[in-house]
Structure 1
């Protein structure tokens, strides 16, 4: 007779898919405070627009390879030849507007740094410095804060940062804790 314990309950969107479950258990909703990692996730959320997050997860290593491991200095230096190269790279989502938005996003990120505005401090400051805990029942697609952050990012030159994309990013990087009330990740936080 097996003494294995039953699987821990997780958010329903992550059940039944080992890739999504692993992402949920190890990353989603965990507070991220590293500026470069926050920027990378924001860029990936932009690529996800209109697609499933699973598609992005399956291609994440390809994105990292194609975009110089999301080094903002390297990506900001990309020019037309790099856009052409990326448009031919089957490891990523080959959408010119999203590729150009990522290059522009690197430039915007560096412009913020040049002005003394650290990306992590900027976004976490707008959120009050700590995760915002959802009610564990409602899964919103956007919020007043995602509208505010979206507007601030756009003012700094970012693209593909509408309030829905920003809210999904806020959930992914733990600015918002939207784990279900029954989820072991919520219960652990």
Structure 2
């Protein structure tokens, strides 16, 4: 399985973020899964890619030309695709991936996982979307999901389609066993 990982281009301010990202990458590779990611050599993105590669796995990066030109591209990947825009980056990552996982990150991470989740709700793909909830990082976001559902903007089955785990092994096992719900407008 190729797992698209969305995460911070910085490392955050807690060591647990780096540790969890490295462990996730090692676990992916150990279980025979490949990484699809934003192609950067910085932050948690770089941590995950380095861990996958060090454990003998494959890492496929997709980076916009403008970021590559700022010397942010990870060298030594299995393959690095250079695209013209962030839109192209997300589209190519979605095409290449079999699953989507958000590790801790900022607005870019949210944009990427929310788009993948929206596409799943609309039936554009049947791929699982997940969060690795490192040290409760996403707890408040999950509370907001409940607010969306209780306010009539998110059906419970679409809230439930998002996989949430604290541990890499459990999350990857759930990705492998994912069954999509009935589609919103099918």
TM-score, with structure 1 as normaliser? 0.25
- Relative to total residues, which structure has the larger helix share, 1 or 2? 1
Higher relative contact order (CA 8 A, sep 6+): 1
Q: Which has the larger radius of gyration?
A: 1
TM-score, with structure 2 as normaliser? 0.26
